[in-house]
């Protein structure tokens, strides 16, 4: 069960170059390619001639040409030509609405005619020279909602990421969850704590004292269909915390686009946006590598949890205060799916 | 759905030597071995004692001996002995009719009693000193009919085999399909073209000019249950084409025995028979290697197509003029299956 | 279908050290760990918080702590604490009765309350300084009853283990099977035979003549739920055989605990107990290595047999005199399962 009337991140811009890209999103097998103007197109990955995947073909003159017998399909899904054939009466294939923005390819999961560009998220960090961004893509075998749960309850950092961003003080600071329309915000503030290794290093990179006592914050924002942006950071203790002056803090935005591939697998686009040393490409690479290592630690847990839940469909799980972010996010998802299907 | 009252190629002669061979044909797990006279036998691969596969055993005195507890089964499927046991009352296992001819082991897929040796195909190239043959065996995960489609529509050469036997002129020459009883013949003739790499090389091997303009032909003959023989070749242009004198042509027969393993996998026996330099074993090996490389290019396409069709069972495919060979072959198959089951 | 009111070997003692152990027994996913007193506990491998496997966590103060969000569960399956949470109202998870004895961890497959320690088997060889033991663990993809059949009919040695313990004389000596309550005993005695390689070597290790003619015995004892102990040995011929003086024999007990993992897979704990050179650890290792190699020969046969039987569920197998041990053991199992379920 997915929200259909929404934009999902299907790929990064650089993934779609000369060759077509095959990718399944929300159970739909798709092929992505660029037309002559460079605009990205998404079609169902099924040649109407004999059913071969179009993604095994190639792009010529902005059309995708089937690699089996050469039927060319336009970026509108219409048959555009085939040697020795008149294609006027050939059936079209389904086209999906796609937008390229912020370095990502956004796919509208419902019918293309219903696509609403105004619903694309606004990502200030992606549009500004004051920010730098680096990220990656993981394929994980779990229901997309398990990943939302994971990101809306960061107490797991203490256990899954104990050597980098976890610390016991996380658990001592109860989170607060509020729902604002379709957005769910779970916030946690810790005071007067030693920064864990990841943040000590970030302080050092900001030319701040990595041994200083700090205030630390995590502000997780879920928005439909399945995006979680997390403001995270530390500031010298007692100087305003999240509101402190940039000169005494290290902070960033953890970016999580969770795109369902199937009912039990996701394409997980993760990354980090930062406001310091934004022109330091080597630093971007270092941060991405570190984040990639940390986020890979979730994979075994999420896939094991998925298997356990599939094997025990009747069991009810606990809904603690720390789970409130995920619970509320699921309520938003359920409400929006219900509104679509009635 | 397979034709049952027919001979399928189950193995090559050399595959069945001292050790028994396990192979599934038309969803039936079988064990093949030779009796004392060297005649090949096919039995169901199931020991009546405890259900072990007989193919894990060994051949002794022309019987197959189960490798678990030693029950010996004769080439008629009868229990022939077991240490310490009287086997007179033991049940027999099912025997299948097998013929060895032309270097292949032919299996009758219906009950052995109904086997009709007169229905074995006649392969003139396999029986004559004027021909040389080399071939191989591939296992491919697709419905056998997708491979028939593939071989009856050689326009795919231009896309799948573009570096060897493909050329755009194939698409410019519309094929003609005729049905003659149970045989379907799809022919294509190209005139005044440059030979593609494979044929340029064949001309050279025939001590002919590889740069000469040529006429080229492809005559695909489907016969039940699932054999496709293709006469292919080139001759100096304007000298009669297919009918030209052997002295100015290079030609051969592409041999394709497509044996269903299961509903969605095949044993694909492919090869090439030629009439020139028939005693040149090194040339046979070279041709086999080249053909093997070309035919391996079809595997990914066929297996992807199979997955796409299984995932979209409701979709109708196009039936163009180039598909006529495959469409007509399927009609023959459907008609023969219907005749068997009424 | 398993007997539930019985003790199964779930692990060896050394398998459960600092880290928790995940293991499925009788279709139940379990986590094993030791409490502060070192006593082994088995709980279902499912955290009541969010369904993560507890086995991915760690042991602290005798509790198992979930590796996702830190819920601690006691050795009784009760929630024992979680940072920032009051766990008083949290649901417990299922605990299973476990006993550690003879170097093995024994699991009662039915409800813990029904566990009956008096039903633990008595293993004299495991409790005595006069015996040495070495063994191993294999995972095999077959119904546990196929392994019982295997061990209660040692005629398979001649075929599966022909280079070590097999010899044709096994088949010439018909076995005798008797049922004594819930125990099934199949005995075979061979007289005046050359010892096969394994036993010739054992004679040599006992400083006896490896070329001497011998009497040989195999006494297989099945007891519920799925244990098979086999007394095996050779003695100089004509000196009493199984009853002969220890000074002229080589003998041991083959130990087989067959624990169902699922309906079609087992944990197979195998080993050998011997009464000679009991303090020779190098000899124990040598014997274990040899036995491990021999017992690995059964795996392919058992897994192939399992696949063949699953593909042919309607077929009846033969029940010969050599199969009587397995047939009678299945009758005992069926009778005990029926008694449990009525």
One domain, residues C76 and C152: no
Of B119, B143, B169, the one marking the end of a domain is B119
Contact state of B317 with A50 under an 8 Å Cβ cutoff: yes
Q: What is the ipTM of this complex?
A: 0.93
Q: How far apart are CA B188 and CA B170, in angstroms?
A: 8
**Tokens in use for C249?**
């024999």
Domain stops at, among C119, C151, C174 = C119
Alpha carbon of C342: minimum distance to chain B alpha carbons (Å): 30
Examine residue B2 and state whether it is found in any structural domain, yes or no.
no
Query: CB distance from A323 to chain B under 8 Å?
Result: no
A67 contact residues in B (CB cutoff 8 A): 159-160, 301
Identify the pLDDT of residue B168.
86
At A238 the pLDDT is: 96
**Contact status of B190 with chain A (Cβ, < 8 Å):** no
Chain C: give the shortest CA distance to residue B5, in Å.
Answer: 23
Residue C142 and residue C308 in contact, taking contact as beta carbons nearer than 8 Å: no
Pairwise CB contact (< 8 Å): B159 & A48: no
To probe the interface with A, which of B143, B168, B170, B304 has the most A CB atoms within 10 Å? B304
Mutation site, B30, B59, B68, B81, interface C, largest C CB count within 10 A: B68
Crossing angle of helices A144-152 and A281-311, in 10° steps, is 120
Residue C14 pLDDT? 96
Asked whether residue B54 falls in the same domain as residue B164, the answer is: no
Q: Quick check: B53 and B30 in contact, CB under 8 A?
A: no
Q: Which of C74, C89, C119 is the last residue of a domain?
A: C119
Shared domain check, B312 and B184: yes
Could you tell me which chain B residue has the CA closest to the CA of C298? B68
B321: Cβ–Cβ under 8 A, 6 or more apart, which residues? Answer: A84, A85, B174, B175, B177
The residue of chain B nearest to residue A83, with distances taken between CA atoms, is B171
Contact A144, A259 (CB under 8 A): yes
Q: What is the mean pLDDT of residues B288-295?
A: 93
Cα separation values, B81 from A254, B73, C120, Å? 73, 7, 43
Residue C20 placed within a domain: yes
Q: How many beta-carbon contacts under 8 Å exist across B and C?
A: 68
In contact, A27 and A262? CB cutoff 8 Å: yes
Return per-residue pLDDT of chain C as tens, 342 residues.
899 999 999 999 999 999 999 999 999 999 999 999 999 999 999 999 999 999 999 999 999 999 999 999 999 999 999 998 999 999 999 999 999 999 999 999 999 999 999 999 999 999 899 999 999 999 999 999 999 999 999 999 989 898 888 888 888 889 999 999 999 999 999 999 999 999 999 999 889 999 999 999 999 999 999 999 999 999 999 999 999 999 999 999 999 999 999 999 999 999 999 988 899 999 999 999 999 999 999 999 999 999 999 999 999 999 999 999 999 999 999 999 999 988
**B197 part of contact set with chain C, CB < 8 Å:** no
Cα B92 to its chain centre, rounded Å, is 31
Question: Would you call C57 an interface residue with chain A, using a CB distance cutoff of 8 Å?
Answer: yes
pLDDT at A341: 87
Mean pLDDT score, B66-70: 96
Say whether both A128 and A78 belong to one domain: no
State whether A314 and A208 are in the same domain.
yes
C49 touches chain A (CB under 8 A): yes
- Look at residue C41 and give its three-state secondary structure: strand
Residue B1 lies inside a defined structural domain of this protein: no
When CB atoms are compared, the residue of C171, C305, C321 closest to B52 is C305
Give yes or no: residues C106 and C151 share one domain.
no
| B18: its two tokens | 């001292």
Tracing tokens 């997390």 back to the chain, one arrives at A230
In a domain, C141, yes or no: yes
Neighbours of chain C (3+ CB pairs under 8 A): A, B
Phi, psi of B173 (to 5 degrees): -105, 100
B27-54 residue pLDDT tens: 999 999 999 999 999 999 999 999 999 9
Q: Cα angle at C80 between C77 and C83, to 5 degrees?
A: 135
Q: Which two tokens stand for residue A318?
A: 């606990």
Per DSSP, the three-state class of C260 is: strand
Q: Cβ contacts (< 8 Å) between B158 and chain A: which residues? A: 70, 83
Bridge partners of A220, per DSSP, are A186, A230
Whether A168 sits inside 8 A of C83 (CB atoms) is yes
Residue C65: CATH number of its domain: 2.102.10.10
Give the three-class secondary structure for B327.
Answer: helix
Q: Residue B226 — very low, low, confident or very high, per pLDDT cuts 50/70/90?
A: very high
State in Å, rounded, how far the first CA of chain C is from the last one. 14
Q: What is the pLDDT of residues C208-252, one digit of tens each?
A: 999 999 999 999 999 999 999 999 999 999 999 999 999 999 999
Interface of B with C in 67-126 (CB under 8 A): 67-70, 83-85, 90-91
Which residue in chain C has the smallest CA separation from A172? C84
Q: Kindly report the backbone phi and psi dihedral angles of residue B285, in degrees, each rounded to the nearest multiple of 5, phi listed first.
A: -65, -40
What is the SS3 assignment for chain C? CCCCCCEEEEEEHHHCCCCCEEEEECCEEEEEEECCCCCEEEEECCCCCCCCCHHHCEEECCEEECCCCCCEECCCCCEEEECCECCCCCCCCCEECEEEECCEEEEECCCHHHCCHHHCCCCHHHCCCCCEEEEEEEEECCCHHHHHHHHHCHHHHHHHCCCCCCCCHHHHCCCEEEEECCEEEEEEEEEEECCCHHHHHHHHHCCCCCCCCEEEEEEEEEECCCEEEEEEEEEECCCCHHHCCHHHEEEEEEEEEEEEEECCEEEEEEEEEECCCCCCHHHHHHHHHHHHHHHHHHHHHHHHHHHHHHHCCCCCCCCCHHHHHHHHHHHHHHHHHHHHHC
pLDDT digits (tens, 9 = 90+) for B122-147: 999 998 999 999 999 999 999 999 99
Task: Give pLDDT tens digits for B14-33.
Answer: 999 999 999 999 999 999 99
For the four alpha carbons of A127, A131, A137 and A138, in that order, the dihedral sign comes to negative
C-alpha to C-alpha distance for A165 and A200, rounded to whole angstroms: 10
Q: Judge if C140 and C113 occupy the same domain.
A: no
Residue-level pLDDT at C285: 95
Q: What is the DSSP string of A71-133?
A: -EE-TTS-EEE-TT---TTPPP--EE-EEEETTEEEEE-S-GGG--GGGSPP-GGGS-TT-EE
CB atoms < 10 A from the CB of C306, how many? Answer: 18
Residue to test with chain C: of A163, A170, A304, most C Cβ within 10 A: A304
Residue B103 and residue B146 share a domain? no
**Do C78 and C221 sit in the same domain of this protein?**
no
Give the chain C residue whose CA is nearest to the CA of A146.
C50
- Rounded distance between C-alpha atoms, residue B101 and residue B109, angstroms: 16
Angstroms from A189 CA to nearest CA on chain B: 49
Residues C171, C295, single domain; the answer is yes
**Interface probe with B: pick from C153, C318, C325, C330, most Cβ of B within 10 Å:** C318
C225 min Cα distance to partner chain B (Å)? 22
Residue B172 has pLDDT above 90, yes or no: no
Contact status of C159 with chain B (Cβ, < 8 Å): yes
Whether A260 and A325 share a structural domain: yes
pLDDT at A208: 95
Residues 278-317 of chain A whose Cβ lies under 8 A from any Cβ of chain C: 300-301, 304-305, 308-309, 311-312, 315, 317
User: Per-residue confidence of chain A (342 residues) as pLDDT tens digits?
Assistant: 899 999 999 999 999 999 999 999 999 999 999 999 999 999 999 999 999 999 999 999 999 999 999 999 999 999 999 998 999 999 999 999 999 999 999 999 999 999 999 999 999 999 899 999 999 999 999 999 999 999 999 999 989 998 888 888 888 889 999 999 999 999 999 999 999 999 999 999 889 999 999 999 999 999 999 999 999 999 999 999 999 999 999 999 999 999 999 999 999 999 999 988 899 999 999 999 999 999 999 999 999 999 999 999 999 999 999 999 999 999 999 999 999 988
Domain residues for B290?
A: 124-341
Q: Which residue of C has its CA nearest to B57?
A: C159
A1 occurs within a structural domain: no
CA distance A13 to chain B (A): 26
| pLDDT computed for residue B166 by the predictor | 87
B48 domain-assigned: yes
Asked if A56 lies within 8 A of B317 by C-beta distance, the reply is no
Indicate the Cα dihedral angle A114, A118, A120, A122, nearest 10°. -170
Chains adjacent to A (≥3 CB pairs closer than 8 angstroms)? B, C
Q: Which residues of A touch B311 (CB under 8 A)?
A: 29
Residue A153 belongs to a domain with what CATH number? 3.90.380.10
Residue A54 lies in a domain: yes
Number of domains in chain A: 2
Structure tokens at A255: 């970016």
Q: B40 - beta bridge partners?
A: B34
Q: Is residue C333 part of a domain?
A: yes
Tell me the whole-structure pTM to 2 decimals: 0.93
Please state the rounded mean pLDDT for residues B312-330: 94
Same domain, B85 and B184: no
């Amino acid at each position: 069960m997915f929200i259909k009337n929404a934009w999902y991140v299907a790929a990064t811009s650089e993934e779609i170059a000369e060759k077509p890209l095959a990718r399944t999103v929300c159970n739909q097998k798709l092929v992505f390619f660029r037309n002559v103007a460079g605009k990205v197109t998404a079609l169902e990955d099924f040649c109407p001639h004999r059913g071969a995947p179009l993604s095994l073909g190639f792009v010529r003159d902005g059309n995708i040409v089937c690699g089996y017998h050469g039927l060319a399909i336009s970026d509108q899904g219409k048959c555009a030509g085939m040697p020795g054939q008149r294609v006027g009466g050939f059936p079209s294939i389904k086209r999906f609405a796609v937008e390229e923005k912020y370095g990502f390819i956004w796919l509208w999961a419902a019918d293309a005619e219903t696509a609403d560009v105004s619903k694309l998220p606004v990502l200030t960090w992606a549009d500004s020279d004051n920010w730098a961004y680096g990220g990656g893509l993981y394929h994980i075998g779990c229901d997309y909602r398990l990943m939302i749960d994971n990101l809306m309850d960061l107490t797991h950092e203490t256990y899954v990421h104990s050597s980098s961003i976890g610390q016991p003080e996380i658990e001592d600071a109860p989170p607060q969850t509020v729902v604002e329309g379709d957005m769910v915000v779970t916030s946690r503030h810790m005071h007067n704590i030693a920064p864990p290794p990841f943040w000590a290093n970030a302080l050092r990179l900001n030319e701040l004292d990595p041994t200083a006592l700090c205030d630390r914050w995590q502000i997780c924002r879920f928005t439909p269909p399945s995006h979680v942006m997390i403001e995270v950071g530390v500031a010298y203790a007692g100087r305003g915390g999240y509101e402190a002056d940039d000169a005494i803090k290290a902070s960033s935005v953890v970016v999580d686009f969770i795109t369902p591939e199937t009912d039990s697998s996701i394409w997980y686009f993760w990354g980090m946006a930062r406001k310091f040393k934004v022109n330091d490409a080597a630093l971007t690479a270092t941060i991405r590598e570190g984040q990639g290592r940390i986020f890979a630690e979730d994979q075994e847990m999420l896939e094991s949890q998925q298997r356990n839940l599939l094997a025990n469909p009747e069991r009810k799980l606990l809904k603690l205060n720390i789970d409130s972010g995920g619970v509320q996010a699921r309520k938003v998802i359920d409400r929006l799916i219900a509104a679509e299907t009635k």
